[in-house]
Amino acid sequence: MASTSLLKASPVLDKSEWVKGQSVLFRQPSSASVVLRNRATSLTVRAASSYADELVKTAKTIASPGRGILAMDESNATCGKRLDSIGLENTEANRQAFRTLLVSAPGLGQYVSGAILFEETLYQSTTEGKKMVDVLVEQNIVPGIKVDKGLVPLVGSNNESWCQGLDGLSSRTAAYYQQGARFAKWRTVVSIPNGPSALAVKEAAWGLARYAAISQDSGLVPIVEPEILLDGEHDIDRTYDVAEKVWAEVFFYLAQNNVMFEGILLKPSMVTPGAESKDRATPEQVAAYTLKLLRNRVPPAVPGIMAIFVRRTVGGGGNTQLERNEPGTKPMARVLLLRTCVAEHLSENMGRQTRERERSSDHSLGPCQGQFVGSARKIHR
């Protein structure tokens, strides 16, 4: 995408104009700040942080063509459910074995550019005693960390939610950077059946902006994720209208908080009808609507779009299958978010081989890891 940055000076930006899709562009200067003057105003715009160059480099690495992000940020409770399904106890040792299986898969770095980790994983070592972070870096995979604290009810709204986690975020992100993390993830949601109310949209946008500013100040590239939930009976046009307003609000507040757009990544939802809608959309329609939204609302300075183009379905015999949500020609964005659902079908093999290791000195997980990397390769075709 272009190397042009959106002006990050809230007194100069008029929100009504921003929502209409108007923006002010300027070339990013080489100095740490730029002075803007007109007849009525003289102000200084501060650079995003002292990590500016590193943020740009990290974002470009994660957004490198042909690779995507592995989301392995399951909480210990969620990981425990997967272990329980194959008869394994939810212990740190078993969680360690499962995560070791993922991060140490040979050749994974050919298809995965970043890995979102749970906090325990960030500080964890593999079963061989090597730091998980170091194993990822050796494969040219950027370690990341989930930093939000989950969704809670938004008082005064239409039974909507807001994402908590800003309290203490600055100290946490600084510690995560020291531990080796280089990007962060924060998920907030907007519900169409419940409105969405202006309060919920503003809360989601402001929370994402504050999280992004704090993350960049600590050296972490923020993944900005304004998720439009799929629940509802609405058609694809309703989804587009809501997403357009939400994204406009998000980028307006990102600019107000002096977030450097070259050092963020966007993880949007696809523009689809509601899950209960009678009017289904073809992959081509989803692609057309989503691309239109990207072109109309995303500043050209943003270096990458991290989007989910696959979903998991269960076929005959409980086998996991992957369905593409994009046309067979070209993907709808530069990179693909590889979710841990891709790896879920490995759980049975992982459990079996863990039990085999208890009876044998052979620690090889080659076949299972090969299946995992093969899944990543197929997604990018």
In 191-293, which ranges are E strands? 221-228, 265-266
Does 359 or 209 have the greater pLDDT score? 209
- More reliable by pLDDT, 349 or 252: 252
**pLDDT in the model for residue 366:** 63
Q: Is 150 left (phi over 0), alpha (psi -120 to 50) or beta?
A: left
Lowest average pLDDT, out of 39-43, 262-266, 285-289, 372-376, goes to 39-43
Q: Are strands 151-153 and 161-163 parallel, antiparallel or unpaired?
A: antiparallel
pLDDT score at 370: 72
Is 222 in contact with 305 (CB distance < 8 Å)? no
Q: Supply the pLDDT for residue 44.
A: 41
Beta bridge partners of 91: none
Res 334: pLDDT: 32
20 labelled catalytic: no
Task: Average the pLDDT over each of 148-157, 222-231, 307-316 and give the range with the smallest value.
Answer: 307-316
Q: What is the pLDDT of residue 49?
A: 64
Active-site residue, from 74, 262, 267, 326: 267
Question: Which amino acid does the sequence have at 318?
Answer: G
Say whether pLDDT at 16 is over 70: no
| Domain positions in the chain | 51-308
| Each residue's pLDDT tens digit, 26-42 | 333 333 444 434 444 44
Q: Is the pLDDT of residue 247 over 80?
A: yes
| pLDDT recorded at residue 376 | 72
pTM for this model (two decimals)? 0.75
β-strands 4-6, 25-27 pairing:
antiparallel
State the pLDDT at residue 214: 97
Instruction: Write down the pLDDT at residue 307.
Output: 75
Q: Are 206 and 245 within 8 A, CB to CB? A: no
The Cα–Cα gap between 160 and 288 comes to 29
> What are the two backbone dihedrals, phi and then psi, of residue 67, each rounded to the nearest 5 degrees?
-130, 165
User: For residue 26, what pLDDT is reported?
Assistant: 32
Of 347 and 7, which is predicted with more confidence? Answer: 347
Instruction: Give the separation between CA 192 and CA 194, rounded to whole angstroms.
Output: 5
User: What is the percent of the chain where pLDDT is above 70?
Assistant: 70
Pick the CATH number of 51-308 from 1.10.1760.20, 1.10.10.10, 3.20.20.70, 3.30.1280.10: 3.20.20.70
pLDDT at site 346: 40
**For residue 86, what pLDDT band results from cuts at 50, 70 and 90?**
confident
The answer to whether residue 267 is catalytic is yes
What is residue 182's predicted lDDT score, i.e. its pLDDT?
98
Q: Are 373 and 101 in contact (CB under 8 A)?
A: no
Mean pLDDT, residues 338-351 taken together = 39
Average pLDDT in the chain: 77
Non-local (6+) Cβ contacts of 178 within 8 A are: none
Query: What's the mean pLDDT in 81-108?
Result: 90
Pairing of strands 265-266, 306-307: unpaired
Catalytic, out of 74, 225, 227, 249: 225
Calpha distance 297→20 (Å, rounded): 10
224-234: average pLDDT = 90
Q: Is the pLDDT of residue 283 over 60?
A: yes
